[in-house]
Structure 1
Amino acid sequence: MKACKRVFLIVLDSFGIGAEPDAAEFGDGDVNTLRTIAASPAYATPHLAQLGLFNIDGVGCGAPVSAPLGAFARLRELSRGKDTTTGHWEIAGIVSERPMPTYPDGFPPEVIARLEQAFGRKVLCNKPYSGTQVIHDYGREQKETGGLIVYTSADSVLQIAAHEDDVPVEQLYEYCRMARRIMQGEHGVGRVIARPYVGTWPNYTRTPRRHDFSLDPTGDTVLDALARKGLATIGVGKISDIFAGRSVSRTLGINKDNRDGMEKTLALQDEEFTGLAFVNLVDFDMAYGHRRDIEGYARAATEFDAQLGTFLSRMREDDVLMITADHGCDPGAPGTDHTREYVPLLVYGSGIRQGANLGTYPTFAMIGATIADIFGADLKTKGESLLPRLVREEA
């Protein structure tokens, strides 16, 4: 293969492509995020299609193209989870054999007591809740009591919400750091999330100053492998938060929205670096999947595809693009939870075989293993490199 200088790995957060065989164990039926949104009149992704999205085995929707520009595969999640942290860690090389703890009935009294003691403030709510609904329902009480709204979801998370006028953002971050130190071991949730908001009841709105405080990764990642070789590891969006900042040489911060994330990624194309740009586009999941907004999700995919066209036109000879997802969040499914789904893998570059159907593989960790192989970095993972099957014969 021609020497690769830069890999751009874009994670379309929750862009699943069909139920995994064990979906029922995770409470899911015949889910398929892509199939649901592709049926919307608002959906149009010609560039994803041309790369081979609808040629992937078992995708179950759309029209395959006769001559895909990229190589493509379907990846199954091996970890016991269907959340952001578990999915991204597996992409990077870590297979989580035990699910992270969740709290469908709220956090136990002993945890709340420790949190209140650390905060010096009352804890409000302590239930699984929608993030927009919880500030509507508890915002006035938060204002009156000076308490902190603590809630969870179907994911392994502890979220803390407070009005920015009552709790300055940096102070909210400090409360989250306190909670992160408490939520270890048995109660080691994947993420503690700061959720600042502004406004007056009933018109509260969450601000973009959200911040995630993740567990330290429990094993070797492709970020670690590249860092050991002194290569760049640039995070766009939530990447630094998801990996607790470990082996991220530079972060461009949380995205205002998907468009902002892609604009940052397009700007990186003008920079000189050798290594990985790891990008997360969370709006698919946060703004549309969880809210079961089919039309919004479809429009977001269409908007991304337009920016993808610009990205493809600006790629260099020594660039490789990978597009994947971390789980599903079918907006047509019951409830508001993530869905246990296969994810796509699309790979494109001047040295990548066009139209190569790589089939189905048992772990997202194939991605981390492949990136490590591209750069000749040593990564300990259950994934295997796809590079031998990706390289053009003439390359």
Structure 2
Amino acid sequence: MCAKKAVIMVMDSFGIGATEDAFRYGDEGADTLGHIVERAHAGHAEGSMNGRHGDLRLPCLDSMGLSKAACLSRGERCLASPLSSEKKLIGAYGYAVPRSVPKDSTAGHWEIAGLPTLVDWGYLCTQGEKTFPKALTEALIEQGGLPGLIECGHASGTEVIKQFGEEHIKTGKPIAYTSADSVFQIAAHEDAFGLARLYELCGIARKLVDRYQIARVIARPFVGTLAEGFSRTHNRRDFSMPPNDETLLDVLSMSGVQVIGIGKISDLFAGQGISNSIDSTDLDLVVDAVIENLSRVHDTSLIFANLTDFDSKYGHRRDVIGYATELERFDKRLPEIISALGKNDILIITGDHGCDPTHKGTDHTREHVPVLVAGNGFVNRCLGRFASFTEIGKLAAVHLGMTAHDLDKFFEMKRNDC
């Protein structure tokens, strides 16, 4: 019997319309894809969008049903302009509704893997506060052997290195900040402070923030010599709290399925249920790793990949042009992935939350995500509305051999634990 593979590619922050409960998060009207399309279309009509010319064109994603999924998610409202002129549909499409309370990457990925987060995470400080709990910072300074800590509270990661990067290099004090997400982020210079030392410090912080129920500690290394020249590198690393229960990744691994995490997948699951991890944040490197593992691995496998730059480089920075360009760059590489699929393989394209670059603030937005499936008979089908991201993981698990009985048993255990 031929081995089967399922690829789940998460376009980090790729939402396609606000959820019914978006008002609880202050995200009414958020629509990551829809607003990018509108801005591109308006810019096309005017001749440019701050240097970008033309409507957003995503022919491969559209052939998998992206426009149709967005229309369903948006209550039958079509996008402002078509994503392609191609009418042939090579995939199946639908959209999924988040069940988890937090609107972040950890909760989104855990829910895809069958473990929704039904209670919110903890948060270290409120909007406007610049300091963290004194017990936390004192312990981090002592255990990390630090001369001190530059505390920024709620802040933009690119702004804090611009504002405090030179002070950090001069004093050796790392820069600590957070956002509306349940995160504790530490920025430090790769050369002046050291990348290994930054990772070690974040490992210490991971243990210290457990008492506050913080989802992730994020290492944010940067390089450069002057404020205007500082830039973050691809050596970001997430230190997540481990899943509080078994996920589909654990179940698949224990049943002999190889689970390959690409991008920040292993970080988000604290390595739990992962057979092999390939670290990268760059889109091309993630796509290359997916294609390589489709071709090289001959065992029944789940290839779970995250494309983080949509979120960290463009969504949070409210960079509409950058987000549009990154979407088109991914779309151009997507045919290579589809071509690499074997006859027993499937590809699932989805998201983990929204991050509408036209929305107020710089935080994630509460949105539906697309569910686009290609391969193994998934052609020209509407999958409709998925009531939870868990349905995405179920699609992959069934394809890889989990029976309805096994899945029912797994999710019944989760319901009993709630």
Q: Kindly indicate whether the alpha-carbon contact (under 8 Å) linking 2:354 and 2:368 is maintained by their aligned counterparts in 1.
A: yes
Secondary structure of residue in 2 paired with 1:291: coil
Which residue does 2:391 correspond to in 1? 366
Counterpart residue type for residue 35 of structure 2: T
Which residue does 2:62 correspond to in 1? 49
Q: Kindly indicate whether the alpha-carbon contact (under 8 Å) linking 2:99 and 2:389 is maintained by their aligned counterparts in 1.
A: yes
Q: How far apart are the structure 2 equivalents of 1:179 and 1:5?
A: 40
Q: How far apart are the structure 2 equivalents of 1:282 and 1:358?
A: 26
Per-residue CA deviation, residues 134-193 of structure 1 (Å, 9 max, x unaligned), is 1111112212222111111111111111112332211111111111111113x1211111
Q: 1:196-211 counterparts in 2 under 5 A? A: 196-202=221-227, 203-211=229-237
Secondary structure of residue in 1 paired with 2:99: coil
**% identity of equivalent residues:** 40
Q: 1:169 aligns with which of 182, 195, 204?
A: 195
Q: Kindly indicate whether the alpha-carbon contact (under 8 Å) linking 1:69 and 1:348 is maintained by their aligned counterparts in 2.
A: yes
Counterpart residue type for residue 25 of structure 1: R
| TM-score for the superposition, normalised by structure 2 | 0.87
Q: How far apart are the structure 2 equivalents of 1:160 and 1:46?
A: 39
Q: How far apart are the structure 2 equivalents of 1:3 and 1:351?
A: 16
Q: How many residues align?
A: 380
Counterpart residue type for residue 43 of structure 1: L
Which residue does 2:48 correspond to in 1? none
Query: Structure 2 vs 1, CA of residues 383 and 77 (structure 1 numbering), >3 Å: closer, same or farther?
Result: farther
Which residue does 2:320 correspond to in 1? 294
Q: 1:338-357 counterparts in 2 under 5 A? A: 338-352=364-378, 354-357=379-382
Secondary structure of residue in 2 paired with 1:363: coil
| TM superposition shift of 1:336 | 0.6
Which residue does 1:74 correspond to in 2? 95
More displaced stretch, 30-39 vs 102-111: 102-111
Which residue does 1:125 correspond to in 2? 151
Which residue does 1:26 correspond to in 2? 25
Query: Structure 2 vs 1, CA of residues 285 and 94 (structure 1 numbering), >3 Å: closer, same or farther?
Result: same
Q: How far apart are the structure 2 equivalents of 1:3 and 1:270?
A: 14
Is residue 212 from structure 1 mapped to residue 241 from structure 2 by the alignment?
no
| TM superposition shift of 1:26 | 0.8
Is residue 381 from structure 1 mapped to residue 407 from structure 2 by the alignment?
no
Which residue does 1:392 correspond to in 2? none
Q: Kindly indicate whether the alpha-carbon contact (under 8 Å) linking 2:6 and 2:400 is maintained by their aligned counterparts in 1.
A: no
Which residue does 1:6 correspond to in 2? 5
| TM superposition shift of 1:382 | 7.2
Q: How far apart are the structure 2 equivalents of 1:359 and 1:150?
A: 43
Which residue does 1:15 correspond to in 2? 14
Is residue 58 from structure 1 mapped to residue 70 from structure 2 by the alignment?
no
Question: Which ranges in structure 2 are unaligned for 5 or more consecutive residues?
Answer: 41-53
| TM superposition shift of 1:351 | 2.7
More displaced stretch, 127-136 vs 54-63: 54-63
Question: Which ranges in structure 1 are unaligned for 5 or more consecutive residues?
Answer: 385-395
Q: 1:155 aligns with which of 181, 184, 195?
A: 181
Q: How far apart are the structure 2 equivalents of 1:36 and 1:370?
A: 29
Which residue does 1:275 correspond to in 2? 301
Query: Which runs of at least 4 in structure 1 moved beyond 4 Å after TM superposition?
Result: 62-67
Which residue does 2:161 correspond to in 1? 135
Q: Kindly indicate whether the alpha-carbon contact (under 8 Å) linking 2:5 and 2:400 is maintained by their aligned counterparts in 1.
A: no
Is residue 193 from structure 1 mapped to residue 218 from structure 2 by the alignment?
yes
Q: Kindly indicate whether the alpha-carbon contact (under 8 Å) linking 1:42 and 1:295 is maintained by their aligned counterparts in 2.
A: no
Counterpart residue type for residue 36 of structure 2: I
Secondary structure of residue in 2 paired with 1:234: strand
Query: Structure 2 vs 1, CA of residues 317 and 27 (structure 1 numbering), >3 Å: closer, same or farther?
Result: same
Counterpart residue type for residue 37 of structure 2: A
Secondary structure of residue in 2 paired with 1:93: coil
| TM superposition shift of 1:215 | 0.5
Secondary structure of residue in 2 paired with 1:178: helix
Query: Structure 2 vs 1, CA of residues 285 and 298 (structure 1 numbering), >3 Å: closer, same or farther?
Result: same
Q: How far apart are the structure 2 equivalents of 1:184 and 1:92?
A: 22
Counterpart residue type for residue 158 of structure 1: F
Q: Kindly indicate whether the alpha-carbon contact (under 8 Å) linking 2:169 and 2:193 is maintained by their aligned counterparts in 1.
A: no
| TM superposition shift of 1:341 | 0.1
Counterpart residue type for residue 358 of structure 1: L
Secondary structure of residue in 1 paired with 2:411: coil
Q: How far apart are the structure 2 equivalents of 1:80 and 1:199?
A: 38
More displaced stretch, 130-139 vs 13-22: 130-139
Per-residue CA deviation, residues 39-76 of structure 1 (Å, 9 max, x unaligned), is 31352111111111111213441549755221111110
Secondary structure of residue in 1 paired with 2:310: helix
Q: Kindly indicate whether the alpha-carbon contact (under 8 Å) linking 1:222 and 1:371 is maintained by their aligned counterparts in 2.
A: no
Q: How far apart are the structure 1 equivalents of 2:222 and 2:340?
A: 38
Q: How far apart are the structure 1 equivalents of 2:106 and 2:413?
A: 17
Counterpart residue type for residue 101 of structure 1: G
Counterpart residue type for residue 26 of structure 1: Y
Q: Kindly indicate whether the alpha-carbon contact (under 8 Å) linking 2:3 and 2:299 is maintained by their aligned counterparts in 1.
A: no
Q: How far apart are the structure 1 equivalents of 2:58 and 2:412?
A: 32
Per-residue CA deviation, residues 276-305 of structure 1 (Å, 9 max, x unaligned), is 000100111111111111111111111101
Q: How far apart are the structure 1 equivalents of 2:243 and 2:322?
A: 33
Per-residue CA deviation, residues 358-386 of structure 1 (Å, 9 max, x unaligned), is 211221011112222222334523799xx
Question: Could you say what the CA RMSD is over the residues aligned between the two structures, in angstroms?
Answer: 2.0
